[in-house]
Amino acid sequence: MPDEFKPIEKDIKDALTKAAEDVEKGYPAHLKEISDRAEKVVAGGTKKIDEDNAAGIKKILDDLDSNSARTDITSDAKSAEQGKLTDKLRSILDPGGEAKRASDLTDHLNELRTEGHAPGRHLDPDEQALKDRLGDTKYNPDGTVKLKQSGPNLGHVASENFVDPLTGTTVDGVHGNPHLCGPYATKFDNPEDMARADEYFRKQLASGTLPGPTPISDVLGPHGHEDLTGFYKDPANPSTYKPVDFSGGTIRPVYRPDGSGGFHLHTMFPEPAPGKHP
């Protein structure tokens, strides 16, 4: 349970339990009590708690307790999950603050757009743009699919004419040369997760550590891999794009000195665990 909710933790959980019981019986006698108690959680909160909200709040509180009790994940993963759950609870209990939070998120992502191409290549593209980024398949003289024969991409389809989502062409939007891409084209599904990842790595930078590939679960919580999208070409049929399985994968950030003693985010993208595919 986040510290900010602890002062009325017992009150709100008792009220939510009673509400759930009453809703099952068909009458919401305790919804007024939930509303009164929930409004104490966030200053200025005015959201009236209806039956759907009551059930949602109770689930989030239960999930927070379950997350705190877990021993099978790292402390960073637990912290990331707590942050996500707390944000969900805040959205319900403090709807009046949503506009400001959305504005802050937009400002954060716009700042990243001025620093590098993380949003442009790994947040904004739709699924078709990801597939286009994987380019045209190369073939051997005998007509068979050309596959990578060595290195970390062994067994993956060899391709060319990669389309940069920044330009919509094979011209790279950063340096103007032909765009290049590895065997995977990947992205964050929502801006909140990219912002969370940037905040996570900025803390490392502030402590004097240049971040490198980090488990997705540590950055986005134990379910974070479910909110990422990626494709690679099926070596058996390269006209088919197979979804990337991000379980056990990492987020790779690339920060570079900004010339003023700080760092800017050059790029950041999710990647599967080595050997997961093809």
CA-CA distance, 240 to 231, in Å (whole number)? 10
Q: The sheet that has 263-271: what strands, in order across it? A: 214-215, 250-257, 263-271
pLDDT confidence band for 8 (50 / 70 / 90): low
As a whole-number percent, the residues of the chain with pLDDT over 90 amount to 71
Average pLDDT over every residue of 231-256: 98
pLDDT (tens digit per residue) in 55-95: 777 788 888 889 989 999 999 999 999 999 988 888 877 77
Structure tokens at 193: 């997760």
pLDDT (tens digit per residue) in 229-240: 999 999 999 999
Average pLDDT over every residue of 178-191: 98
Q: Average the pLDDT over each of 26-35, 110-119, 223-232 and give the range with the smallest value.
A: 26-35
The letter for the amino acid at 150 is S
**Contacts with 111 (C-beta within 8 Å, 6 or more apart), sequence order:** none
In terms of residues, how long is the chain? 278
pLDDT confidence band for 37 (50 / 70 / 90): low
Tell me the C-alpha to C-alpha distance, in Å, between residue 38 and each of 17, 146, 215, 222. Answer: 13, 61, 35, 28
